[in-house]
Amino acid sequence: MPGQGISTRCLLATPTAIAEAAERLRAGALVAFPTETVYGLGADGLNPAAVARIYEAKGRPSNNPLILHVPDLESARQLVSHWPPEAQALAEQFWPGPLTLVLPAAPEVPEIVRAGNPTVALRCPSHPVALALLKAVGRPLAAPSANRSTEISPTLAAHVIAGLAGRIELVLDGGATSAGLESTIVQLALRPFKVLRPGPLSPSALEAVLGPLERWEGQVQPGALQSAPGMSERHYAPRTPLRLVMRENLQQALEACPGACGVLLGEALTLPDSIVQCVLPEEPDQVGTALYALLHELDAAGHRAILFQEPPVGDAWWAVRDRLRRAAAGTGGSR
């Protein structure tokens, strides 16, 4: 994809670079920055023209709302028309961290951030660079993941550059992100409260504070107004076809598909040397941390297909399974 002719600079996230980034953001620029989940593509969240540039740079459908990032709980409260006790309890317990709360929006939240919804998604990230940047800007930052729409989210500055060079002004390089999957999103604007997107923070941790929560696992039709998160099936997709295969069927599937590589959980299979296999630990948080970087790498390596061992069902693997299922659907590899 050709860029838009903007010269993109990548700076190590030093205090000087963060101060420069804050200044650029206040002037309407697009700046990618690390969070503990994935890199975000930031713009001044109260400047509709700057926010419009996010949609353009990503090629993001205009009906998919953005998350506003804030440095603390007090800043979040100023962006909602109602702050329920459940929001207070979750924010006190889990912010800063990989949790996004969907709440009724205050009138000053621009319509373009909300994609016309009456609600706004809010998150206080824990990455020190993200927090320092938010404090220096002094305004909320609208920030989706810093990838082209439907592609894999970035966990390294190099992934951001590969996808968005020529389309954004600056990338702050803070190394690899730690959690690796996008934040857990909880809808607290209407009852019943619901987990809209699984993420690094498990539903059971939220339920320990709020009591039982619904889990949204449906699909949104492309083009439909997305009152649930922008979860059209084609999302998080590598270019290489990806298929989920039960472990007991993997050997046969790999032997039947020359040029494919296997991704195993726990232990390698005994296979001919010609078949490439990557082995991940059978531990969901570690797989979450490594997943996107591995998919970026396998995509670049030009395999014919990626055959991924199907992870176990259940809350612990929900976030990883969700991303893999979408990756499979996006490449036509879903079962």
Residue numbers at the binding site for Mg ion (CB under 5 A): 145
Position 156 contacts ligand TXA (CB under 6 A) = no
- Which of 45, 71, 144, 154 forms a contact with ligand TXA (CB under 6 A)? 144
Q: Report, in Å, the least distance between residue 249 CB and ligand TXA.
A: 32
- Which of 169, 173, 182, 299 forms a contact with ligand TXA (CB under 6 A)? 182
Q: Report, in Å, the least distance between residue 250 CB and Mg ion.
A: 29
Q: Using CB distances below 5 to 8 A depending on partner kind, what does residue 123 bind out of ligand TXA, Mg ion, none? A: ligand TXA
Is the Cβ of residue 63 or residue 81 nearer to Mg ion in the bound state?
A: 63
- Using CB under 6 A as the binding rule, the residues of this chain from 94 to 113 that contact ligand TXA are 100, 102
Position 65 contacts ligand TXA (CB under 6 A) = yes
Position 291 contacts ligand TXA (CB under 6 A) = no
Is the Cβ of residue 143 or residue 172 nearer to ligand TXA in the bound state?
A: 143
- Which of 24, 29, 40, 150 forms a contact with ligand TXA (CB under 6 A)? 40
Q: Using CB distances below 5 to 8 A depending on partner kind, what does residue 170 bind out of Mg ion, ligand TXA, none? A: none
Closest by CA position to 46, among listed 88, 15, 87, 75:
75
Tell me which residues touch ligand TXA (CB under 6 A).
35, 37-38, 40, 64-67, 100, 102, 114, 117, 119-121, 123, 125, 143-145, 182-183, 185, 196, 226, 229-231
